[in-house]
């Protein structure tokens, strides 16, 4: 009976083939339901990613299965003391829950969140974060008592519809308005000699992003975390590309980056784009975005889409994206709920 099912912790590094078989079935079911237009990450890539040791964030995994079939899954993340963000983020626990459609409304999701809540108690975390994209997820997190904190708009640019002449004008205008600024494109991992300066400026820029009502501590990028990230990307076949603008004094004024992987060769992921506040108003954002899209068009002729996400209140970046041709595709909402408020839904600890 479902009432007898209990979430079981999973260690991917020690999991057997039976686990991976039932996990991949559920994973592909979820992707088919929630992200039907996106390429599916191959099983071996997923396994490599999940098995990797993470010195900066501890990952938690729980499954609910019956008769060799996985009915529900929860993954969670919490910073470790080695993470520079630990002191301002240790109260936060981020979770992700999925339950088979036919097994919803049977408290499986609640049981999985209960497992996350017990992990939070051990960690001293006091706020649970969950993201919802579809109606069923919104209903579930609202039932938990969570409050919507951040609305992120996912937008997609169809490369076949890009105004390439306008992109070239943006690049030319960037040169003209900032003749002493140097734009550099880096394919693959950034040279290690740039890590310290890049990490420092990326930290500053990331913390200027609007997070609406989200409870979030400092975002801190370090050379050590960059090394870890680059090693992870290489292990799973992610290829990175960065565009950076350098000022005459050697400082970074703007940056944008994308990732590409062979298994999703038609879909390029635009990551972070930021311009230093004192360098805004010179068209640097348009310059680096246009330079990147012109570059990847030639680099990846099979690419059809570029996908990116922005806070719904990030008007300047949304304006650039809309002018480029990015169109809204779906909305992700980050919810948060205090640990003690979960008791009303989950019962006693």
pLDDT for 4: 66
pLDDT for 339: 95
First to last CA, the chain: 22
- For tokens 């520079």, the residue is 84
pLDDT for 2: 45
Residue 122 CA to residue 148 CA, distance in Å, equals 26
What is the token pair recorded at 298?
A: 């030639």
* Interval 38-91: pLDDT, tens: 999 999 999 999 999 999 999 999 999 999 999 999 999 999 999 999 999 999
pLDDT for 345: 84
As a dihedral over the C-alpha atoms of residue 48, residue 307, residue 314, residue 88, rounded to 10 degrees, the angle is 0
- For tokens 């000022």, the residue is 247
Residues 6+ apart with CB under 8 A from 292: 185, 241, 243, 256, 258, 270
pLDDT for 312: 84
> Hey, how many other C-beta atoms are within 10 angstroms of the C-beta on 9?
11
At 125 the three-state DSSP class reads: coil
pLDDT for 3: 47
* Interval 325-347: pLDDT, tens: 999 999 999 999 999 999 888 87
Mean pLDDT over all residues of the chain? 95
What is the token pair recorded at 87?
A: 């002191």
At 101 the three-state DSSP class reads: helix
pLDDT for 344: 82
Residue 111 CA to residue 131 CA, distance in Å, equals 18
What is the token pair recorded at 60?
A: 């938690």
Residue 134 CA to residue 104 CA, distance in Å, equals 14
Question: What is the C-alpha radius of gyration for the chain, rounded to an integer number of angstroms?
Answer: 21
Whether 157 and 306 have beta carbons less than 8 Å apart is answered as yes
Helix axes 195-206 and 223-235, enclosed angle (nearest 10) = 100
Q: Which regions of the chain are under pLDDT 50?
A: 1-3, 348-349
pTM over the 0.85 mark? yes
Q: Within 13 A of 304's CA, how many CA atoms are on the CB side? A: 6
Domain annotation for the chain: domains and CATH numbers: 2-125 (3.40.630.30), 154-332 (3.40.630.30)
Residue 244 dihedral angles phi and psi, to the nearest 5°: -130, 140
pLDDT for 1: 38
């Amino acid at each position: 009976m479902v009432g007898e099912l209990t979430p079981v912790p999973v260690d991917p590094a020690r999991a057997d083939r039976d686990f991976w078989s039932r996990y991949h079935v559920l994973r592909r079911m979820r992707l088919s339901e929630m992200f039907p237009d996106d390429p599916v990450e191959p099983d071996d890539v997923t396994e490599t990613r999940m098995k990797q040791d993470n010195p900066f964030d501890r990952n938690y995994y729980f499954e609910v299965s019956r008769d060799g079939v996985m009915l529900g899954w929860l993954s969670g993340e919490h910073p470790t003391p080695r993470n520079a963000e630990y002191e301002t983020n240790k109260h936060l626990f981020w979770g992700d829950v999925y339950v088979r459609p036919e097994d919803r409304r049977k408290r499986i999701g609640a049981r999985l969140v209960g497992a996350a809540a017990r992990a939070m108690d051990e960690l001293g975390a006091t706020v649970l974060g969950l993201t919802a994209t579809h109606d069923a997820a919104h209903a579930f997190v609202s039932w938990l008592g969570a409050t919507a904190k951040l609305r992120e708009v996912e937008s997609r640019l169809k490369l076949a519809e890009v105004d390439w002449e306008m992109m070239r004008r943006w690049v030319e205008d960037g040169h003209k308005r900032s003749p002493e600024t140097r734009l550099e494109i880096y394919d693959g991992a950034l040279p290690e000699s740039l890590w310290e300066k890049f990490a420092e400026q990326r930290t500053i820029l990331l913390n200027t992003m609007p997070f609406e009502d989200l409870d979030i501590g400092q975002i801190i990028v370090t050379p050590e975390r960059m090394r870890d990230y680059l090693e992870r990307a290489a292990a799973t076949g992610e290829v990175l590309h960065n565009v950076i603008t350098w000022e005459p004094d050697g400082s970074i004024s703007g940056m944008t980056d994308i990732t590409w992987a062979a298994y999703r060769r038609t879909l390029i992921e635009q990551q972070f784009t930021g311009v230093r506040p004192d360098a805004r108003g010179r068209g640097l954002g348009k310059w680096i975005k246009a330079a990147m899209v012109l570059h990847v068009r030639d680099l990846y002729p099979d690419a059809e889409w570029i996908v990116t996400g922005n806070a719904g209140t990030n008007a300047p970046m949304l304006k650039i994206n809309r002018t480029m041709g990015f169109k809204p595709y779906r909305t992700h909402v980050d919810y948060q709920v205090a640990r003690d408020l979960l008791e009303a839904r989950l019962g006693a600890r």
